[in-house]
Amino acid sequence: MKEAELCFPQFLNDSCRIPETPNFSFWCLYIVLFFLCLVTTALNMLVILSISHFRQLHTPTNILLLSLAVSDLLVGILVMPFEIILKETCWILGDFMCVLYFLVPITIISSSVGNMVLISIDRYVAICDPLHYPRKVTLRRASLCVSVSWGSAALYSVILLHENLMEPGRYISCRGECFINISGTVDLVVSFIVPIWVIVVLYVRVFVVAVSQARAVKHQTKRLKTVKAKKSEMKAAITLGILVVVFLLCYSPYYCVSLSGHEILIGSYSEVFMIFLMYFNSCLNPVIYALFYPWFRKAMRLILTGQMLRPGSREVRVL
């Protein structure tokens, strides 16, 4: 083997070969992933600025959306660029950094799943127990739940990669390779089966209650303010329901292959497509906000025109 073909020519016996140049199809996919990275970062930054800046948007539900936007932003800033840059090159950062390279996306994706569960719980309480919702779901409690969700995601990632963290490079066959081994069954149950079960059960309940409330509203003769409040909550439930459905559509293919018992070949077209679909969800979320939330369109217009820099702009009404 020629030294020019090796990642580390000084280690002739255990050096990996330099990966072959990707073909045209992979280059096209990487170009699409690059633009997706830019769009994902820009759109989620707008969501974060909108909810953080305008005081009227500081609600418990929006705190959950803010947390989801942060995880989506991290996908665009940290996960996607590494996927593009390091996928077809020799790994030169060492065995421990290789484990950290996988630790970051696992933490971010786990936090996204946790955010979806929290959003489902929020809508469940808002629709099924509307009278006690303001007392049960406060800004402080929503922030606490978000913090617990992120902490749990980080702890889960460390536990999942514990063996790799204790002995970095254990599953690497040659220098220049970045590879880890995790329990696919544990990840499937914790990251997919249990959260999906919780989300589906809660939203089925929300749907049943929302339908019954919609029928009651038609025959209601009480104050118009009460009717509008119920309609507003139902509209929010539908919008966030769309958010959850899109999330399931983007994440299900990867986990369903694991659930079927088939192995996912790393680097294959199917593996790249399924990972691409999971990343694409981070770009779709702010698009859903733009389509269904007038406050996001108004806040985005104020941000892009520079009006948020004016004194007192935090108090502008965007709802």
Query: For position 36, which CATH number holds?
Result: 1.20.1070.10
* Residue at 82 is within a domain: yes
Q: Is residue 68 a part of any domain in this protein?
A: yes
Residue 270 has pLDDT above 70, yes or no: no
Query: Which tens digits make up the pLDDT trace of 13-25?
Result: 777 777 666 666 6
Domain assignment of residue 6, yes or no: no
Residues 41 and 282 sit within 8 Å (Cβ to Cβ): no
Q: Where in the sequence is the domain holding 79, given as residue range(s)?
A: 26-312
Is 111 within 8 Å of 149 (Cβ atoms)? Answer: yes
pLDDT digit string, tens, across residues 99-143: 888 888 889 988 988 998 998 899 888 888 888 888 899 999 999
Q: Which of 105-119, 137-151, 220-234 has the highest mean pLDDT?
A: 137-151
Say which amino acid occupies 65.
Answer: L
Following CA atoms 286, 290, 291, 297 in sequence, which dihedral angle do they give, to the nearest 10 degrees?
170
| Residue 19 belongs to some domain of the structure | no
Distances (CA, A) of 93 to 11, 67, 175, 261: 16, 30, 11, 33
DSSP label of 17: B
Residue 131 in any domain: the answer is: yes
Residue 110 lies in a domain: yes
- In a domain? residue 20: no
Instruction: Please say whether the beta carbons of 244 and 112 come within 8 A.
Output: no
Q: How far is CA 240 from the centre of its chain?
A: 14
Domain for residue 14, yes or no?
Answer: no
Structure tokens at 169: 């490079």
Distance (Å, rounded) from C-alpha 13 to C-alpha 7?
A: 12
285 compared with 82, residue with greater pLDDT = 285
Q: How far apart are alpha carbons 194 and 82 in whole angstroms? A: 29
pTM score: 0.84
| Angle CA 194–198–202, to nearest 5 | 170
User: Considering its fold, how many domains does the chain have in total?
Assistant: 1
